[in-house]
Structure 1
Amino acid sequence: MTITEVDFTSAAPSGDPLLRNNVTVTGDVAGPTIVFAHGFGCSQETWNLVAPQFEADHRVVVFDHVGAGNSDWNAYDRVKYNSLEGYAADVVGILEALDVTDITFVGHSVGSIIGVLAANRAPERFRRLVLVSPSPCYLNDDSYQGGFEPHDITALLESLEANHLDWSRQTAPVIMGTPDRPALGDRLTDSFCRVDPAIASHFARVTFTSDNRDDLGRVSVSTLVLQTRQDAIAPPAVGRYVHESIPASRYVELDTTGHVPILSAPDQVVRSIREFMT
């Protein structure tokens, strides 16, 4: 087994997806590939408690969505990223650049829906999807409870656009959902505060106004849905909806609360993924 780390930040030519998305590859380069995609307001660092636990027997790939972390912020195109499909195209581009197939894709929050869209675009490159705290639609309607009314979304977006830092300080602990462990809320707040405010506002608007429910039924790869007991952003009913909408998917409720179990219960997340893969 060969353990290595590949840094593309200086070697990749301009326009290369590996440079654009700050792609990092670690672990067993001869092993199967597992890719981790972060959610809104975060970066690949959000996976620091989960991804390294797969390095002994997997080729581990982490990256930053354009506009997050150490991605190339100059590559942000409001037209391209006016839909989650723009981010899904980036994922497919990364897989093509790495020339990998048969991957396990693990996405958190909106990163999980981006994974759904990417798997529908290029199913030949995917073997499994793991969707952590997913939500295909945040708005309630007559037959679906996404957790928010239109005025809730409007207020959230207006607050974010008016003062990104204050919004981050107030909202991140609620999203984290672990009041007994305030350090986790502080960590998420710090992550939110390191995102460009204009890009964060646009990404939030795209995320919270998207409706990708119809895309779930087109998933053709084996899928695991991981949900917490209580989630202010994607309630358990939403996780069950995702599970029921994806053919032959599996549903696991984690013994934790909040929207970010990859920070609050990383060992449970790792164990659930391992059990799913075997």
Structure 2
Amino acid sequence: MNSDIDIIKRNDVKITGNGDKPIIFAPGFGCDQRMWRYVTPAFKEDYLIITFDYVGAGKTDLQFYDPTRYSQLTGYAQDVIDVLSALQLQEAIFVGHSVSSMIGLIASIQDPKYFERLIMIGPSPCYINDPPDYAGGFELSALEGLIDLMEKNYIHWANQFAPMIIKNADRPNLSNELEESFCSTDPIIAVNFARATFFSDNREDLLKATVPSLVLQCADDAIAPKEVGEYIHRHTPGSEIRFMNATGHCPHLSHPRETVAIIKDYLSKLQDK
């Protein structure tokens, strides 16, 4: 990268908030930083808030998209490290949704000085069932079928997948927003990220964690079921887990008050120590 300015532009980095402590919000697959808009205002008085997008999403600079780099979660982890390095920030609170939870974990293992805590919303280290000891929620054939549908009819996939993720049928506006977010991404880029997301296995990385973490486990989550959250908690040193009343996989959209309350409670207890 030629300069820090390139990274700020590349990842469409936004900085707000009045505090000194950095807190960075990382979006999940198919999402962009706008998805955090119901959560970030609650932290503006006490934190320096960083939002960004991975290259290929939102308003990032697509000239920097490298399909080889972004075929692995390590490429996305490097985006996180690049952003924090460009801003000259260390010991940040990292809040990651879905696959960004593992991306943050990978980044913290690679360069722990940038991270003080990891907050994982709906995380999964492996989406594929591996009996008898691990239930990720999906059979390999189901995920291969999902990728096949994305490649053949991306719009139809987005229409079918968004409601399953949101799981709040009485609020179709949320599913519509997620569907629109999916459809705003180049399908080729989205499929590449989907492969990196759904076919990765980061279970061994859990044991390498050196940064304390909080797992937010939603109820009735079709993407990261309860057993997965409990697995992460059992296998990640220094982790805590909170079970949410929020249903679905996107509580920062569907239940932002509960999401904020749990995160703030976790961080306040750290300050009291």
2:77 alignment partner AA: A
State the match for 2:84 in structure 1.
95
1:188 alignment partner AA: L
Give the TM-score normalised by structure 2. 0.95
C-alpha contact (below 8 Å) 2:4/2:86 kept by paired residues: no
1:180 alignment partner AA: D
Q: 1:218 to 1:13 in 2, by over 3 A?
A: closer
State the match for 2:42 in structure 1.
53
Shift of 1:73: 1.4
Give distance in 1, aligned partners of 2:157 and 2:20: 42
Deviations 1:11-68 (A, max 9, x none): x96972111110000011x520000000011100010111121111110000001100
State the match for 2:257 in structure 1.
267
Q: Within 5 Å, give how 1:10-49 maps onto structure 2.
A: 16-28=6-18, 30-49=19-38
Shift of 1:248: 2.3
State the match for 2:110 in structure 1.
121
Shift of 1:268: 0.8
Instruction: State the identity as a percent.
Output: 45
C-alpha contact (below 8 Å) 2:13/2:53 kept by paired residues: yes
C-alpha contact (below 8 Å) 2:15/2:50 kept by paired residues: yes
State the match for 1:69 in structure 2.
58
Across the aligned residues of Structure 1 and Structure 2, the Cα RMSD in angstroms comes to 1.3
1:157 equivalenced with 2:147 (yes/no): yes
Gaps of 5+ in 1: 1-11
Gaps of 5+ in 2: 269-273
Deviations 1:243-271 (A, max 9, x none): 11111211001101101111111111111
Give distance in 1, aligned partners of 2:193 and 2:5: 21
State the match for 2:232 in structure 1.
242
State the match for 1:5 in structure 2.
none
Deviations 1:216-268 (A, max 9, x none): 11111121000111111111111111111111211001101101111111111
C-alpha contact (below 8 Å) 2:165/2:249 kept by paired residues: yes
Q: Within 5 Å, give how 1:224-235 maps onto structure 2.
A: 224-235=214-225
Residue aligned with 1:137, SS: coil
C-alpha contact (below 8 Å) 1:13/1:19 kept by paired residues: no
